[in-house]
Amino acid sequence: NAGVTQTPKFQVLKTGQSMTLQCAQDMNHEYMSWYRQDPGMGLRLIHYSVGAGITDQGEVPNGYNVSRSTTEDFPLRLLSAAPSQTSVYFCASSSYDTLNNEQFFGPGTRLTVL
Amino acid sequence: DAKTTQPNSMESNEEEPVHLPCNHSTISGTDYIHWYRQLPSQGPEYVIHGLTSNVNNRMASLAIAEDRKSSTLILHRATLRDAAVYYCIPPLIQGAQKLVFGQGTRLTINP
């Protein structure tokens, strides 16, 4: 199993540009989520999904859109990038189990918005 | 929601045990305690979780206080590869799996 994969690894955008960060998992996990990590800080939840067709907002959803058309994929869209969105983005997945819910994280996408 | 408190940083020597403390004084009776760690330039990885009794796995041990208001992650014999930020995660919201990451404890291992 490849686990959780994220593309691209690095991206530089200009203010106002749009892009999609890709996330895929091959473990048939129901639950997927996106976090961002600013320098020296812990991770903050952006959006999450408990299954195909179901998404919800996390702690910092503004400026980001998500959709979940398949179990495997959970892309994160930035509609109009802003410098405040410069961060490292992590995707995670887990089996939908409230007691033993080890989450598996991808390697991250480092995004810089100029 | 339950909150956790951890020291900002700790330092230890290679091949010595490390005890990483966490206070979670507002934890409720059915909440699990989870620990994750983040190695440099990597995504977080699961370390261990537990409810009441002490737990062991191949990575670490988790000692939970009898009143459950604190726990200690134990690395029995630290290696340089254990240098990371260790996060004690507040109990998860029932029915969802939203991990809440604080600042964590930055562990430095000296050779």
Region A95-102 average pLDDT:
68
Q: Which of A6, A32, A102 to mutate to test the interface with B (most CBs of B within 10 A)?
A: A102
Region B85-104 average pLDDT:
76
Asked whether the beta carbons of B43 and B5 are under 8 A apart, the reply is no
Contact call for A107 and B42, based on CB within 8 A: yes
DSSP string, chain B: ----B--SEEEEETTS-EEEEEE-TT--TT--EEEEEE-TTS--EEEEEESSS-EE-SS-EEEE-TTSSEEEEEESS--GGG-EEEEEEPPPPTT---------EEEEEE-
Region B72-93 average pLDDT:
90
Q: Sort out which chain A residues have CB atoms less than 8 A from B92's CB and list them.
A: 98, 101
Partnered with residue A26 across adjacent β-strands are: none
Q: Sort out which chain A residues have CB atoms less than 8 A from B104's CB and list them.
A: 42
Residue B94 near chain A (CB below 8 Å): yes
Taking only residues 3 to 42 of chain B, the set having a beta carbon closer than 8 angstroms to any beta carbon of chain A reads 32, 36, 42
Contact call for B46 and A90, based on CB within 8 A: no
| Partner residue opposite B95 with nearest CB, options A98, A106, A107 | A98
Average of per-residue pLDDT values in chain B? 88
More confident of the two residues B10 and A101: B10
More confident of the two residues B97 and A19: A19
Q: Are strands B105-110 and B9-13 parallel, antiparallel or unpaired?
A: parallel
Partnered with residue B5 across adjacent β-strands are: B23
Can you give the pLDDT at residue B26? Answer: 74
pLDDT of B95 strictly over 60? no
E strand or H helix that includes residue A25:
strand A19-25
Can you give the pLDDT at residue B51? Answer: 84
Q: Which of B99, B100, B101, B106 to mutate to test the interface with A (most CBs of A within 10 A)?
A: B99
Asked whether the beta carbons of A14 and A113 are under 8 A apart, the reply is yes
Give the tens place of pLDDT for each residue, B47-61: 998 888 889 998 899
Give the tens place of pLDDT for each residue, A51-94: 999 999 998 999 999 999 999 999 999 999 999 999 999 999 98
Cα(B93)–Cα(B36) distance, integer angstroms: 17
Asked whether the beta carbons of B11 and B71 are under 8 A apart, the reply is no
Residue B100 near chain A (CB below 8 Å): yes
pLDDT of B10 strictly over 70? yes
